[in-house]
Structure 1
Amino acid sequence: MSMATRATRALDAAGIGYRLHPYDYDADAGAAAGGKGLQAAAALGAAPQRVLKTLMAWVDARAVCVVIPSDRQLLPKALAAAAGGKAARMMEIAEAERRSGYKVGGISPFAQQRPMPVWLEHDALGADSVFVNAGQRGLLLELAPADALRILQARTAAISR
């Protein structure tokens, strides 16, 4: 597995410090198993609230990227309200892969193919460090949430439960 991705190259170019954490990706981890984010947290021995999942969504007709703790669910109404829209819904898999340039299970909020606004769950800012997908399945990067917020130019809101 190559450890260099568009996401890591973008962080390197911005001078952001991070640590890479490869793990055994389970393509079959789904809702029944608690999801891929929870599987990644278990594989790394990390608290699920520190392992963030990247979701691709629509707020009205605008594409947005959403980053929330792996043990939480997105609240579409809260996302829509935070983004100044009327409704939010998850993006279709094919569209999410096209827009991000990453495969589902490996979508990183960093260095997406088609940049879009990023929304970060406010509660994720409380940890010293968080784990975020590095741009390929089975590879997370760990960094300070303030650094993620800065490079993503993300907005924060209470958008999950």
Structure 2
Amino acid sequence: MDKLDKWTIFFVMAMAAYASVLMAQAGGTPEQRKIGTAERQERQQALTPEVAGRIQLAKNLLIQDNLAKAEPLLETLITEFPYEGELYLLKGDILMRRQQPIAAMYEYKEAILLNPDFLDKKTRQFQGKKIKVSVEEAMTAIDDGLAKKPGDGKLREDRETLYFMKRKLAGSCG
């Protein structure tokens, strides 16, 4: 065995050690990372049964078009659990049914900031199509408003939020 063979063996062993360290830091093999993602999603959804029941009640009221009862329930839930993104998503649904796409866009923005999985097509929580429709309707409303009042500061702020949402949708996995 000459000097080049020894250096080659040393180099291959060093690369193997480096690769094993990288895999340990990254969380293992790709299959193990998928399992970790599923566990993380289940932990995210692990709400207390009482809270999950109240959210389901709000969903049922929304399905039955009982917006008058669903909105106060959602408002109280949002004050109690401000970091639950699904509540903001439901609030956006109510606003869309009331033909308020700009306000709905703001609620959807809050929802995806709290839970980006709403824009990830690989999760069960994917809501990208609904959010995209809201953004398109908000864009129409903002453009119409700016055509009538070009100097309106509120509509300009709304347009900035619209562009933010378009960037989020473009960068999403959906």
- TM-score by structure 1 length? 0.30
- If asked which structure has higher relative contact order (CA below 8 Å, sep 6+), I would say 1
TM-score normalised by L of structure 2: 0.28
> Is the helix fraction higher in 1 or 2?
2
